[in-house]
Amino acid sequence: MVRRGVDRATITQTAYALAEKRGLAALDIRGVAEACGVSVGTIYNCFPTKDDLMVEVIGTFWGNVFQEDLCRVVPGERFDAFVVRLHSALTSGLAAFRSDWLPQISALSMQGRDAGKLRETELFNHMRAGLQAVLAADPDADVARAGVSAEELVAFVLDSLIHTLSAGEGDCRVLAHLLSAALYEAPAHTEGAHVAPEQQSESTARAVKEVE
């Protein structure tokens, strides 16, 4: 039976659920239409091409991974601890993403990749805003000690996170230790990184400048 009034959001969520169950490569317009109880033409009215639907599903995935931890300020949580928690959450999410979906994303048409890049940029902006909110809510963090602005520090942290995730690095202990030494009067000890606080504060500022 064909349902009426199925909107774009419902189609996207249905397609996302199918992709989670069957894998992104198995996603097809006819299967989504059947799951939604609508005609194939209804799907095409909302998503003119399969690439359009795929980009929306991928964007939904990234949004789910980022928003779960990013937009929540935990009272009493330090900024450096939040960065570690965020890295851990993203690593867990990306583990499943890379194993199945990444090859299919690479196979998208040029138009699909451009649209996907735009969604990625929007989500990174969302991450940047979340990092700024957590940093601003941390009463113990003294950005002036790092010798850079809050915006510069957040940009550096985001770039560092993206780099470690892209490289498949299992942790971000060095980044966390740099932040601890640069932002706080009494930095928390981070195992595996033994750099003097004053040296770390200088290297944080220097690294941020190199990112600009």
User: What residue segments make up the domains of the chain, in order of their start?
Assistant: 1-48, 50-211
What lies within 8 Å, CB to CB, of 105 at 6+ separation is: 24, 54, 58, 113, 116
Beta-carbon count within 10 A of 91 CB: 17
Rounded average pLDDT over 116-138: 82
Task: Give the dihedral of Cα atoms 71, 72, 76, 78; nearest 10 deg.
Answer: -40
> Which residue shows structure tokens 């300020």?
73
pLDDT tens digits for 141-151? 999 999 999 99
Instruction: Report the pLDDT value the prediction gives residue 201, as an integer from 0 to 100.
Output: 45
Rounded average pLDDT over 174-180: 95
pLDDT tens digits for 191-201? 434 344 444 44
Instruction: Report the pLDDT value the prediction gives residue 198, as an integer from 0 to 100.
Output: 44
- Say whether domain 1-48 belongs to CATH 1.10.10: yes
